[in-house]
Structure 1
Amino acid sequence: MATNIVSLLNDLIETSKDGEKGFLKAAEDAHDGQLKTLFLSRAEDCARGARELQDVVQGLGGKPEMHGSMSGALHRGWLDVKSAVTDRSDHEILAECEKGEDVAKKRYHNALEEDLPSDVRSVVERQYQGVLQNHDRVRDLRNQYAEVRH
């Protein structure tokens, strides 16, 4: 059972690492200063979440995932952000971030469908709540930026 949990947590670590990379790229490409700050903050949240999950995996006696993956990035919708040309609009960047957060939401939701020990479940649930809040924030900003496009 612990092997399944370690594997599941390593998938979430990969998801967090991919999110961190995606948000760093989004911060680099964003034009609006407030968006740059938001994306950098989100990247740090993703990094913090990954570190927390790595600690849990080690506590379970497993080997924690240390990196995101290119295949993971592709599946998570971050590849478009990573390969974005620098003249993309902030609205387009936000739309790509929302895709990445959609996948993170699904990953965390699926993880919570599993039979997890209560201490592990509480970490995953708390991080899932953060993912939901971030998704909604990015979606709302995307909508806001859609309204100001010409």
Structure 2
Amino acid sequence: MDNKQVIDTLNDLIENCKDGEFGFNASAEHARTDSLKQTFLARSQDCRKAAEELRGLVGQLGGKSAADGGTIAGAAHRGWVAVKGTLAGYSDLNMLEEAERGEDKALERYRDALKEDLPADVRVVVQRQYEGAKRNHDEIRTLRNAARAHDA
């Protein structure tokens, strides 16, 4: 894999992280409980830190990192979260379901990156971030399951 391909892969993950940061921030704005709001804000910060780390790798490789806006798909998902939240009264369950959907996409992008022939130092970072994204996903799923049980 040449440098340009590695940089492109990292930039895809940076956009993924920005989508997560913005999505978790949007969900935090509409969370009804303080504990869920804090969870969403913490996940948003995790995504921001992951993007910064990936930007550092892009810089080390001599590339330019992705813009701060995230992806079009991420923007559409955030718009859908806002619309669905408005229609559903911004229930915590709805926010958790949308957050889990976003985390599913994040995991898919990390898995795709890990299929690539990445340099060893880059692979270590991407693998660690994938494991962190998996923990985030599992935490959101657990909270979603608890919210479903509470609403039942």
TM-score normalised according to structure 1 size:
0.94
User: CA shift at 1:71, angstroms?
Assistant: 1.2
Instruction: Name the Cα RMSD after superposition.
Output: 1.5
Residues 48 and 82 of structure 1: is their aligned pair in 2 closer, same or farther, counting only changes over 3 Å?
A: farther
Q: Contact 1:22 / 1:82 at 8 angstroms: preserved in 2? A: no
Q: How does 1:28-47 map to 2 (within 5 A)?
A: 28-47=29-48
How high is the sequence identity, in percent, across the aligned residues?
44
How far apart in 1 are the matches of 2:71 and 2:121? 30
Q: Return the letter of the residue paired with 2:29.
A: E
User: CA shift at 1:97, angstroms?
Assistant: 0.1
Q: Contact 1:13 / 1:68 at 8 angstroms: preserved in 2? A: no
Q: Which of these residues, 96, 99, 117, is aligned with residue 98 of structure 2? A: 96
User: How many pairs does the alignment contain?
Assistant: 149
How far apart in 1 are the matches of 2:140 and 2:109? 18
Q: Contact 1:19 / 1:78 at 8 angstroms: preserved in 2? A: no
CA offset digits 1:24-70 (Å, max 9, x no partner): 00000000110000000000000000000001000000000132335
Structure 2 counterpart of 1:61: 62
* Segments ≥4 residues shifted beyond 3 Å: none
Structure 2 counterpart of 1:124: 126
Structure 2 counterpart of 1:114: 116
Q: Contact 2:15 / 2:71 at 8 angstroms: preserved in 1? A: no
How far apart in 1 are the matches of 2:47 and 2:94? 21
CA offset digits 1:73-122 (Å, max 9, x no partner): 157x4432244328221001000000000000000001000000000000
How far apart in 2 are the matches of 1:6 and 1:141? 35
